[in-house]
Amino acid sequence: MSTSLGSPSSADQLGPDPDRPPAAGVHSLWRLRGYLRPYVGSLAIMLVASLGGVALAIGIPLVTRAIIDGPVTDRDLGALLPLAGLALLLGVLEAVLVFWRRWVQSNAVLGLETTMRRDLYAHLQRLPMAFHARWGSGQLLSRATTDLAAIRRFSGFGLLFLLINVVQLVATTAVLLHMYWPLGLVVAAAAVPIVWLSMRFEKRYVVISRQVQDEQGDLATLAEEGAVGIRVIKSFGRSTHVGELYDVAARRLHATSVDKARLSAKFWTFLEVIPNVAVVVVLLLGAIGVGRGQLSIGELVAFITLMLSLVWPVSSLGVILAMAQEAMTASARILEIYDTEPAIRSGEREIAEPRGHLRLEGVHFAFPDALDEPVLRGVDLDVRPGETIALVGATGSGKTILTALVPRLWDVTAGRVLLDGVDVRELRIEHLRSLVATAFEDPTLFSMSARENLTLGRPDATEADIEEALEISQAGFVHDLPWGLDTRIGEQGMALSGGQRQRLALARAVLARPHVLVLDDTLSALDVHTEALVEEALGRVLASTTAIVVAHRASTVQLADRVALLEDGRITHVGRHRELLATVPAYRDLLAGDESAEVPA
């Protein structure tokens, strides 16, 4: 879908700083105009129906004038019925046009919001890990919900009525000037303070509107973190402390929202007062005009009726302008995400017959905000098809980052990662990640059934395939859940123990049948007995799969054909476990507390 976003506002691949938001304005909404294109026909129908309603709203008072100055004054009942019928017909037509406009409007605006939400979600999926590390989940959630809803409300209602109300004000004022110009000038003069107040209101409201929306995002982040981390909060007895943090953020949002409401109330009060004062002046001058014979009673009634028909357009101006400011602010916040260019771009190649030969050549890596502090420095490693390499190193040596380079969760800063001789950056992202499966130390499970979590990487898996993966990972406990595999395991799998989550994540990775399997210390939460069973079964899988296993235990290391020792961002030794244990003191020191690491006599 073309959104006419234009070029990014920032060359930084991480995107704009969430703590320094860009200015909002009409240009923000204008850049999202592409989303309106599929609904041009609906918008045209809405516009025609609304303009027709304006014409009918002006026509009815004119018919009323004709009735009063004609049949009523002349006491002619015969002439009264046709005019009364005409007024009734105009009223019915106006109601039909209102119904038609609202029916078309509801379908168009909901479709627009759905498309924007889908595109936003798809773009978030393409953004690099660096982006998600910097942005709070609550900020992203508020943009995907509150901000898109604000844009939808203005696009479907505010924008149309801003145009219609201006047309109605101009057209009605022109009719009033034509009917009796002194009173028409009173109406026209009332527009001057309204325009002045609107300009002042716009400048102040856009600032406070952005502040409210940002604080809503911060509060959503605190709420999400409190829900996900509830076990940690309770175990440390910090419920009161976390509650106070939330209370402070909520009070800050409350104070800002009250300031916003106070500003709106002042503006809307003036918008209510000005038309009412104008009506009083019109009544006074109109009565004088009727007394002097300059104005008929029918013209005065029509004049006042038309004047009163302007009260809603003027009063609603405050609501519409507030809606416009919120939509402009929301658009700027949405564009912060759209303007973030994905640092990891998909290639076009595919490997016709993958074998799983993995090779790292001169790999360097540094985080984008710390380029002068590389995590990996010139890493070379060759993992032959079907071979298992255990990656061993001290905490912070770069093991997890190295494994994340294979499926391109991060990209190398220098050097290259080859899969079957092809640089992974040349492969289609979807194809690469279908060849590589990863099980993390801290697995992420989703608020869905155990079956859906298992088949995430392979939706077409058979029952036999699922059972085999469960057996390998010793995750048969899922059959003891209330509804077996169809049991919903809750957000983040919090209903399961750490070891159960790891085994379920391992089963998910095994079930995907990858050509390259990455296990990032996946067995760390298992007890010794369960670990031994998993390792025995996993050995059969690893016999035919290329694998990188991040390990801290000698029992896990012994699953591997070879071991690579990672020290200070470099692979310093590669060899068999026993060889390294006997000849490399640093390796021996890492496994010093593990009895199974001892070299047999």
H or E segment to which residue 114 belongs: helix 77-126
Interacting residues of 256 by C-beta distance below 8 A, sequence separation 6+: 208, 211, 212, 215
pTM of the model: 0.67
Per-domain residue ranges of the chain = 26-338, 358-592
User: Which pLDDT value is given to residue 357?
Assistant: 93
CB 56 within 8 A of CB 93: yes
φ, ψ for residue 431, nearest 5 deg: -70, -45
Name the CATH topology of 358-592. Answer: Rossmann fold (3.40.50)
H or E segment to which residue 516 belongs: strand 516-520
Strand order across the beta sheet in which 358-365 lies: 376-383, 358-365, 414-419, 422-423
Q: Tokens at residue 470, please?
A: 């469960």
How, if at all, do strands 546-550 and 436-439 pair?
unpaired
The count of residues in the chain is: 601
CB 359 within 8 A of CB 25: no
C-alpha 129/C-alpha 127 separation (Å) is: 7
> How many Cβ atoms from other residues are within 10 Å of residue 535's Cβ?
18
Interacting residues of 133 by C-beta distance below 8 A, sequence separation 6+: none
Interacting residues of 218 by C-beta distance below 8 A, sequence separation 6+: 136, 138, 139, 249, 253
Q: C-alpha distances in angstroms, 220 versus 259, 290, 303?
A: 20, 62, 51
Classified as helix, coil or strand, 23 is coil
CB 591 within 8 A of CB 424: no
237 residue type, one letter: G
C-alpha 361/C-alpha 201 separation (Å) is: 60
C-alpha 4/C-alpha 194 separation (Å) is: 34
- Look at the block and give the residue holding tokens 């003036």: 270
For 332-453, strand residue ranges (E) read 358-365, 376-383, 388-393, 414-419, 422-423, 436-439
In sequence order, what DSSP letters do the residues of 198-230 get, joined into one string? HHHHHHHHHHHHHHHHHHHHHHHHHHHHHHHTH
CB 188 within 8 A of CB 169: no
C-alpha 40/C-alpha 50 separation (Å) is: 15
User: Which pLDDT value is given to residue 2?
Assistant: 40
Tell me which of 3.40.50.920, 1.10.1060.10, 1.20.1560.10, 3.30.1120.10 is the CATH number of domain 26-338.
1.20.1560.10
User: Which pLDDT value is given to residue 364?
Assistant: 95
Classified as helix, coil or strand, 245 is helix
Q: How confident is the chain (601 residues) per 10-residue block, as mean pLDDT? A: 39 47 73 85 85 87 86 78 87 88 79 87 84 79 85 82 84 83 80 75 76 83 76 74 87 90 81 78 81 82 81 74 83 88 86 92 88 89 91 88 90 93 93 87 81 88 90 88 86 73 85 86 70 75 83 79 91 91 88 55 37
Give the DSSP letter of residue 551: -
Strand order across the beta sheet in which 516-520 lies: 436-439, 516-520, 546-550, 388-393, 562-567, 570-575
User: Which pLDDT value is given to residue 594?
Assistant: 56
Q: What's the number of CA atoms in the CB half-sphere (13 Å) around residue 572?
A: 15
